[in-house]
Structure 1
Amino acid sequence: MKMIVLFLFVFISGVFAGNANSQETKVSISKNNKPIREILGEIEHQTDYLFVYSEKEVDVNQRKTVNVSQQRVADVLSSLFRNTNVGYAMEGHNIMLMAKTTQTDAAQQKRHITGVVKDIKGETIIGANIMIKGTGTGVSTNIDGEFSIEAAAGDELIVSFIGYLTQTIKIDSQKTLNIKLLEDTKTLEEVVVVGYTVQTKSAVTGSVAVVKADKLKDVNTLEVGSMLQGKVSGVYVSGSSGEPGQASKIRIRGKGTLNSSVSPLWVVDGVIVGEDPGLNPNEIDNISVLKDGSATALYGSRAANGVIVVTTKRGEYDANKYSVSVNAGVSLLSTGRLEMMNSQELYDYQKSWNNQSWFTEELLKHNTDWFKEASKPGLYTNANITYTGSSGRMRSFVMADYYREEGAIKDFTLDRFTFRSNNDVKFTDRFTMSTKISGSLSRTDSQQRSVYNTYLYLPWDFPYNEDGSIRSGQEQDWRGRDGINDMYDLQWNWSRSKKLTVDGTINFNYQITDWLRFESNNYIRYISNRSESYTDKRSRSGQSDKGSLSNSNSLLTKQFTNQMIRFEKSFGKHKVNALGAYEYTRHFYESTSAEGRGIQPGREILDVTTGIKSIGGYKDAIATQSALFNANYDYDNRYMGQVSYRMDESSCFGKNNRMGHFFTVSGGWNIQNETFFESLRESVNQLKVRVSYGSLGNTPGAYYGHYPLYSSMMYNDEVAYFPSQMGNADLSWEKCYTTNIGIDARFFDRFGVTIDLYNKNTSDLLYYAPLPNISGYTGQYKNVGAINNKGLEISLNADVIRTSKFQWTSDFNIGFNRNRVTELYGGKPELKGLKRLEEGRDMDEWYLREWAGVDPANGSPLWYTTDENGKRTTTDSYNKADRVYCGSAAPKFTGGWMNSFSYKGFTLTANFDFVYGNLLYNQSRELLDSDGAYADYNSMKLKSGWKRWEKEGDIATHPKAINGGNKNSNKSSSRYLEKGNYFSLRNLSLGYSIPEKLCGKLGLQRVNVSCSADNLFTLTPFSGVSPQLSDSSTDGYAGTIYPLSRRIVFGLNVSF
């Protein structure tokens, strides 16, 4: 198993070295003044151990007294031979007793030995024990898996770590050791990254989920956020568009804020990046998702929405390796269950009500499929090369990656080049330095094609003249609204953007003593964006301005530093790890934009435009400084406790409340390590209980919420300013208090389950409250309310079948969340578009006119209303219908199911994700299912079970179609609310690894070929493009957006 390696190393092993079994086996002995031989025999009787010794060196007839109950064998032996010349060493099921050498002889022979301990895959092992056999002398490996020890020729080093088989190394003339430990699959334990620390999974007291690199890259995308979809309980991932390069929306345990960001905090290699860092999946080693207060506590004011911790790959010592992978495939358009009418279907639909003079059967001469005209198989390419290895005291990981994705809709293309170099240099045994440099350069071309228009164009219109030239849309026989043919404008118009991102990190690590270490972590980020858009004067959209050109440029710089001191020490069965740190973050952003009109074709420079259409600019800067403390205590791997405190000072608040104070306490109990549980360990391998409580924080979505602000406008060709935002010097932190209770269990070394119950209360909500017009301001930021999220998360994993030739592993997760607004400003409900906030209700509830169906007598639309007597009745007047709560856009539960099947060299994986209980507002139906309101737009086909009213007495779902619309039937109401439930096959992949012997003959280490497919099917009642996509700013709105694509990809990976 790969070990997570991060610069923040806190694990240090116990004083005595031994294998995993020796650290766990316990005995109960009561012997008074008995020979050592008899005591050793009792240990052999109660355990599987066998003692090996020479009676010439060990006096086993000496009498001793031992009275212990459920003590570890190692502890009994240490007490038994204290103040004697007898030493011992445990190796497998053997315990060797021997005479110790004299201090004088040892001193004459000892010399300095250094080395590194790694697993079979070349990953360094943190906290491995290195003991000199027969002595009490031992050390542990540091964060880089390295150690140094004084030993003499002839000494034997016992190297051990929980979860690995113990190895014995005999010292002769060597001064440097490279040690590899084999996994002990019975006891191997995972290491996870949790809030500036690295802990064994059994010691974690918070709610943490780990997703490793091989689980991430099962979906062919450049967007890391979407790779988490369906993989972690309580994490809901949705998209805003299927366009290449579009970011996902991630919600961890619901939404707990109104105006602040609801996105999680991203941390990369110990650096707080903030927003999604846009990493390349090939540079990621693993991701930890921190969900509760205990896990996220040390990020304090940044962690109210959860934390995503990314660990990038690092080099390996003495394992120089190159890997090359090439993936190529094709993307195919999928519009889900939305089907547009063809020419005949649209004619049949409109013939009963379209009385315009041009509406004749002549229209049927043309039957244009506008999606077919706009789409094509989009080529997908990803090429990657990596190097990992070492030279002397430096180890490196270097990666270069090229990614190109052509959209399944024409004229959408993304190109991105990514580079990363991670280097670790060990100058001395105490001082190390790490550098990380990464960057990406991307270009996006969209060519101004309107996906929206593609849905609306009439099939009666046709794009080309008989001579093959493109029609403009201004022809007399063009029937579509606005008289625009995108294909005509696309001959000249274009839009493109470029983005350059550079990240640099330098870390210093100095081991002051064996138990005290100083770390310095320093980071800078530079992002430059440039966007251009050209509209030719020959195009329809460019005629009014006689051509236009717009340019916008932005620059973001971010600086981060963390200076930390760590304490790590073991006292027998007691382990204490603590840290204290100072942190500073600075963010600076500026942008400029300009648009000119009146430009000649071929002269695409702003300087040659004849007039200014618009000009703008913006700057902002924020800073945060923090002090933090954390302490972890572990007794005998049975009882764990943690306390954390963080103080933040942010420029986002006024002088009265810049300080935020956040804390957490947590505890854990490994019940399986108790004496009374020993008889159950064969069937219940793990049973741990976790409890945590803590506070977190959040800052305003606007950086200057505490300041009075002015806005600008043009008046008589002069710039004028007017007050817009009222200041609030008392604006304070949004606070989130979380409680989490969790259980981790594993049965028969095959089936695992994790269950978490949580309750999250967010108070002092940051909200932009509107002010009366008479005040002269539009609004003011205030702390005005509270929200509660509570839920249940369940994760199951199983080795369903585990034989030498065939393996089937399965992972299933599900997360339930309930959201409630518990307090609002003034206790008054607040309208937010088609939703309304009210105390006691879900913050994502729709507040709409309630659809009552169709009047069978005349086909009129009906809505519910309340009459003067308070009775619920119906009306055909849209304006008389009253608005009511109609359900929520938030899912009741989300989850995923992942399966992997392996047979010899073949591996088949199938990953599913699902959502249930949310209602989506299908905004596209206002236009495409409008009952005649838009005769010059195409219409969607009616779904199975839908029926349009045609004659008196019809029981129908759709009103009578009338030219211009039927009494506002297509206005917003619960009519267009649809269930957003879905069950999707996210990815299906088949791979084959060529046998190692054949690879060896070819001079290669590994060769793998694969074929995978994304988005193969989605089962859903939703009639729109996809229930997985919604508006980028507001959850639950689904419109005429760029649809998802099905993708088939073939891959080749070679290591040498």
Structure 2
Amino acid sequence: MKQKGVKWLRYFFLLCLMGISVCTYASEGKRTLNGLVTDVEGVPIIGANILVKGQATGVISDVEGKFSITVSSPKDVLVISYIGYDTVEMIVGEKTSINVQLTESSNLLNDVVVIGYGSMKKGEITSAITNVKSEDFIQGVVKDATQLLQGKVAGLQMASPSGDPTAGVEINIRGVSTISASSAPLIVIDGIPGGSLNSIAPEDVETIDVLKDGSAAAIYGTRGTNGVIIITTKKAKQGKASLEYHGYVAFESIQKQTDVLEASDYKRLAQDPLFKDKISDEGANLNWIDAITRNPVNHTHNLSLRGGSDKTNYIASITYRKQDGILLNTGKEALTFKIGLNHSMMDDKLRVQLNVNNSTIKQDVTWYNAYLQACLMNPTRPVYNEDGSYKEYGTSYKPYNPVALLNEETDQEKWNQLLASGKITFSPIEGLNLSAMAAMQRYDSMRDKWNNFKYFTTTIENKNAEVTKWAAGSMDRTLELMADYFKAIGQHEFSGLVGYSYQDFERQGSSMYAMDFPTDIFGPWNIGTAQSTKDGKSTISSYKNSNKLISFFGRFTYNYDNKYMLMASLRREGSSKFGVNHKWGWFPAISAGWRISEEGFMKNISFVDDLKLRVGFGVTGTELSNSYQSLVLLNYSGVGQMNGQWTQGVVPASNPNPDLKWETKSEWNLGIDFSLLSRRLNGTIDFYQRTTSDLLSEYQVPVPPNFISTMWANVGKIRNRGIELALDGEVIRTKDFTWRLGGNFSYNANKLLSLSNDKYQRDYWYTGWTSSGIQQTTHIVKEGEPIGNFYGWKAVGLTDDGLWLVEGADGNPKLASEAGQEDKQVIGNGLPSMYAGLNTTLLYKNFDLGISLRGAFGFEVLNEYRMHWETMKRISEANLPKSVLKKPFGSQSYVFDSHMYHSYYVEKGDYVKLDNITLGYTLNLNNKYLRSIRLYVTGHNLLTITGYDGLDPEVSIKGLDPGVERKELYPTVRSYTVGAIVKF
């Protein structure tokens, strides 16, 4: 009782003091309060928001972190905030100046996440969206901006199956949802849907947000059906002009060479009675793979400048990238620049944004067969004759000289990619924004390929050079008009958005081919002199097509007390690609969130900091790949006489289908977000099911009444189910040392539910191809089965004389040469069902160490090279892999059978990669001229742990025939990078 009385006396005394202060201050009137905002290291924070709580009064800190604000009472509370930092509230009292120190936010709920046509705090998100910041990107050489995410996002399935610097990265989000269109997600760059990754430099990327489920992606309609990757580049911002340089040098080498027979093996086999008449020792001792590869030293330089006032600010950057390939005469050189400008007027009611990104790229495209030819070359053969000319080996059955292939052919592509946009935003009243955005993306390319003919074919003798020229161009135009409004009433927060989008796409191109020139000294630039042109054997072609997308869309969000959240969107979209009866489609979405941790019954559970349940449903669509598939198309065919003149005939090339429409993907998502142990452990779990109906595919139809025997129609259905888990936390956190650990896991099960209806029937079809020599399909697409199934014979043994035995339809073994179509079965699947990533960061004072691992599991890989060449029967044709010396299934014989497709060459593909290790040191100087220097070293693609016998189990995940390591491959590379980031 006594303690309670003392407590009330304290409150009374405090109230008296406050009353005296108020009376004194009231007699003095308003006053100005000066302040300084810094981070924990004393570095001024530019652009921090300083508001008087509950009032409209507010300012921002200047280039030195200073501010001045007018207050009217000692009871006023200042709210100081800045993105990425914890918000601070301070009572004014009698202070005339204050120093405010902001600390980096450990509350991930306040992180800003970019969603379709806007942004939200992470804690308010009700859909499956993952945000990755630049500090979490993988380091070192990457092919494009999306590879920065590799191993970082649950449910994002990525593959980089080629070491070619001109090749891209393959991406699926939550599996394959179509059987005829692309499964690649929509790329949005700075708000522009369909932005090209080639138009930006990875070094200019600030954040990447991945919209994975239907409720998040439905706002983008048909183009969001495979998920959406939103890339936000570095923006202009106010403050003192700052200059930043990021440069690095990369040392690259082939990750793994194909293990082929060496000269010593040839010499030994030449003494064996079985082979002495089939192979020859030509005196040399050569590693042909070494002869066509190199260890390039590549470099990248990025310079950016930004600054300006609170009214007008800017950013400008330029990036130069030089990437030589490991194969001779292959590589890529790019020059990219970016300009951004922001300007506000009318007391910040009118804002203008301009952004321009442009890339000019030159790349030397490899002759993909060169690596295979090097594998097949007899290691006792020399590259050159005694006079220095190339040794010629190319015949109808023996390999070509691969050094000549790479040196005597030039295949060069030059292109320019321009991405430009402008946006005007008008805010007439608080909470209301009216905006108009116009953008254009232009692509122009030219590709020239020429070679010395005799090194590339044996079908035509004594022809001097051949030339092929391509030219292509495209123009994408976008116009978007939007209005959004936000209103808070007590504990209720509402926001709404309505918009209109118009997109126009145009494509065109041409090509020319000629051969047999009087000289090859002009390269591709004297094509009219070719003998083939005079003989009428040269070819020329061209094309042009266009299509349009028009959309109306809206979104509504509601948040009550940061506890109950709702988001709903609707898009009405029309496409010129579809039939006259189905030009338009509806794409609705709804999602809700419940922050369970804010309920009263959770208050006593101290280890739970945040717990949110999410549920969402969304509908998206898939367009046709080509612009005119719903129409009757005509082709020229044959020549006949009409009225005494030769006239080219015209025949139908497709059947019309006025009912051709969107594929419709419906997706449910259930998610849980949690944060535990004072936010030391954070995680997300998502369960989803997506079903795509009205699959677009080509079906057999009768003729007549149809013009031709095939027609595009909407018939089938496919389903993907899966689970995703992401965890991250701080294992150790002290003053000088922090250990962060994060990981993600995803599982996806795919099933083709149907392919037929009452009008169109198709139970299955075969796809994939083994190429020359074997002439077999590799995969099957079948109702009730997953996409990606390998379909062939199951090898069960080898006879004593080296002939393959396979399992027959009756379960008994039979000679492979006697097996039929009825004996084939599913022998694997080329799509991984599971992906995982593990990332750890250790911070000690100014040092940092980051390690990333990733893996894929539950799939098989067809080793095409082994399938074609792992038999002694072909030793007279070319060099063979060393694995040919194995005796399969415990047999006493080598393989002497013909090369063929069966399960022995479909290997388990599971792998774990030590993907990235980065060690860095940051020196914070914070003087007038130099803010900081960061030095780092990185190793990329360092180690692959796998049971697969080929070069790399990370193979293509595209299309209906995934999981094949092609024999005509470009080997993957390992790189070591030394880099520096200097901020002035």
Task: Determine if the TM-score, normalized by the shorter chain, exceeds 0.5.
Answer: yes
Match status 1:657 vs 2:657: no
Listed as ranges, the matches of 1:945-956 within 5 Å are 947-948=886-887, 955-956=890-891
CA 1:116–1:238: 2 relative to 1, 3 Å? farther
Listed as ranges, the matches of 1:452-463 within 5 Å are 452-463=372-383
- Structure 1 counterpart of 2:127, which letter? G
- The alpha-carbon deviation at position 239 of structure 1 amounts to 2.1
Give 1:608's match in structure 2, choosing from 516, 529, 536: 529
- Contact kept? 2:156, 2:172, Cα under 8 Å: yes
- Contact kept? 1:224, 1:278, Cα under 8 Å: no
Give the SS at the match of 1:282: helix
- Contact kept? 2:379, 2:879, Cα under 8 Å: yes
Q: Which residue of 2 aligns with 1:854?
A: 798
Q: Which residue of 1 aligns with 2:764?
A: 829
Match status 1:1045 vs 2:973: yes
- Contact kept? 1:402, 1:418, Cα under 8 Å: yes
Q: Which residue of 1 aligns with 2:360?
A: 441
- The alpha-carbon deviation at position 874 of structure 1 amounts to 3.3
- Contact kept? 1:831, 1:837, Cα under 8 Å: yes
- Structure 2 counterpart of 1:782, which letter? A
Listed as ranges, the matches of 1:97-496 within 5 Å are 130-131=51-52, 136-138=54-56, 158-161=78-81, 164-166=86-88, 168=90, 181-183=102-104, 185=106, 189-273=110-194, 276=197, 278-335=199-256, 338-346=258-266, 348=268, 357=277, 359-360=279-280, 362-363=281-282, 365-391=283-309, 393-428=311-346, 429-446=348-365, 448=367, 450-473=370-393, 481-482=397-398, 484-496=400-412
Q: Which residue of 1 aligns with 2:851?
A: 910
* Aligned-partner Cα distance in 2 for 1:1018–1:273: 34
Match status 1:819 vs 2:750: yes
Q: Which residue of 1 aligns with 2:948?
A: 1022
CA 1:230–1:154: 2 relative to 1, 3 Å? same
Q: Which residue of 2 aligns with 1:789?
A: 720
- Structure 2 counterpart of 1:504, which letter? A
Listed as ranges, the matches of 1:15-34 within 5 Å are none
- Structure 2 counterpart of 1:660, which letter? G
- Structure 2 counterpart of 1:661, which letter? W
Gaps of 5+ in 1: 1-37, 60-95
Gaps of 5+ in 2: 641-645, 769-777
- The alpha-carbon deviation at position 341 of structure 1 amounts to 1.3
- Contact kept? 1:927, 1:937, Cα under 8 Å: no
- Contact kept? 1:447, 1:496, Cα under 8 Å: no
Give 1:509's match in structure 2, choosing from 425, 438, 443: 425
Cα deviations by residue, 1:948-987 (Å, 9 ceiling, x for unpaired):
27xxxx823x96443xxx2x4x212222111111000111
- The alpha-carbon deviation at position 303 of structure 1 amounts to 1.1
- Contact kept? 2:279, 2:875, Cα under 8 Å: no
Match status 1:866 vs 2:809: yes
Give the count of matched residue pairs: 941
* Aligned-partner Cα distance in 1 for 2:927–2:44: 22
Q: Which residue of 2 aligns with 1:12?
A: none
Q: Which residue of 1 aligns with 2:963?
A: 1036
* Aligned-partner Cα distance in 2 for 1:320–1:663: 45
- Contact kept? 2:746, 2:834, Cα under 8 Å: yes
* Aligned-partner Cα distance in 1 for 2:293–2:405: 17
Q: Which residue of 2 aligns with 1:751?
A: 681
Q: Which residue of 2 aligns with 1:55?
A: 16
Q: Which residue of 1 aligns with 2:494?
A: 576
Match status 1:693 vs 2:617: yes
Deviates more, 1:878-887 or 1:316-325: 878-887
* Aligned-partner Cα distance in 1 for 2:23–2:221: 54
Q: Which residue of 1 aligns with 2:840?
A: 899
Cα deviations by residue, 1:131-169 (Å, 9 ceiling, x for unpaired):
25xxx4236899x999x9995677856124596242559
* Aligned-partner Cα distance in 2 for 1:57–1:260: 70
* Aligned-partner Cα distance in 2 for 1:331–1:226: 17
CA 1:502–1:913: 2 relative to 1, 3 Å? same
Give the SS at the match of 1:784: strand
- Contact kept? 2:198, 2:359, Cα under 8 Å: no
CA 1:851–1:793: 2 relative to 1, 3 Å? same
RMSD: 3.6
* Aligned-partner Cα distance in 2 for 1:575–1:498: 52
- The alpha-carbon deviation at position 930 of structure 1 amounts to 3.1
CA 1:537–1:842: 2 relative to 1, 3 Å? closer
- Contact kept? 1:497, 1:532, Cα under 8 Å: yes
CA 1:698–1:211: 2 relative to 1, 3 Å? same
- The alpha-carbon deviation at position 876 of structure 1 amounts to 3.8
* Aligned-partner Cα distance in 1 for 2:655–2:25: 80
* Aligned-partner Cα distance in 2 for 1:318–1:519: 25
Q: Which residue of 1 aligns with 2:629?
A: 705
Match status 1:668 vs 2:629: no
Cα deviations by residue, 1:260-285 (Å, 9 ceiling, x for unpaired):
11000011112112664553111110
Give 2:695's match in structure 1, choosing from 761, 765, 770: 765
CA 1:897–1:447: 2 relative to 1, 3 Å? closer
CA 1:543–1:319: 2 relative to 1, 3 Å? farther
Cα deviations by residue, 1:296-340 (Å, 9 ceiling, x for unpaired):
12112111111001111112322421111221121111236x311
Give the SS at the match of 1:1029: coil
Give the SS at the match of 1:978: strand
* Aligned-partner Cα distance in 1 for 2:462–2:599: 81
- The alpha-carbon deviation at position 1031 of structure 1 amounts to 7.7
Give 1:533's match in structure 2, choosing from 420, 445, 449: 449
- Contact kept? 2:872, 2:895, Cα under 8 Å: yes
- Structure 1 counterpart of 2:315, which letter? F
Give 1:738's match in structure 2, choosing from 645, 662, 667: 667
Give 1:983's match in structure 2, choosing from 883, 908, 912: 912
* Aligned-partner Cα distance in 2 for 1:761–1:988: 39
Deviates more, 1:116-125 or 1:483-492: 116-125
* Aligned-partner Cα distance in 2 for 1:118–1:784: 62
Q: Which residue of 1 aligns with 2:775?
A: none
* Aligned-partner Cα distance in 2 for 1:1013–1:263: 28
- The alpha-carbon deviation at position 535 of structure 1 amounts to 1.8
- The alpha-carbon deviation at position 409 of structure 1 amounts to 1.6
Cα deviations by residue, 1:668-696 (Å, 9 ceiling, x for unpaired):
1111122221222x411111110111211
CA 1:187–1:39: 2 relative to 1, 3 Å? farther
- Structure 2 counterpart of 1:844, which letter? G
* Aligned-partner Cα distance in 1 for 2:449–2:731: 55
- The alpha-carbon deviation at position 367 of structure 1 amounts to 2.3
* Aligned-partner Cα distance in 1 for 2:828–2:12: 71
* Aligned-partner Cα distance in 2 for 1:703–1:39: 83
Cα deviations by residue, 1:1-21 (Å, 9 ceiling, x for unpaired):
xxxxxxxxxxxxxxxxxxxxx
- Structure 1 counterpart of 2:850, which letter? T
- Contact kept? 1:51, 1:97, Cα under 8 Å: no
Deviates more, 1:818-827 or 1:1025-1034: 1025-1034
Give the SS at the match of 1:512: coil
- The alpha-carbon deviation at position 989 of structure 1 amounts to 1.2
* Aligned-partner Cα distance in 2 for 1:222–1:358: 44
Q: Percent identity between the aligned chains? A: 23
- Contact kept? 1:240, 1:1032, Cα under 8 Å: no
Q: Which residue of 2 aligns with 1:7?
A: none
* Aligned-partner Cα distance in 2 for 1:1011–1:333: 19
Q: Which residue of 2 aligns with 1:22?
A: none
- The alpha-carbon deviation at position 576 of structure 1 amounts to 0.3
- Contact kept? 1:927, 1:934, Cα under 8 Å: no
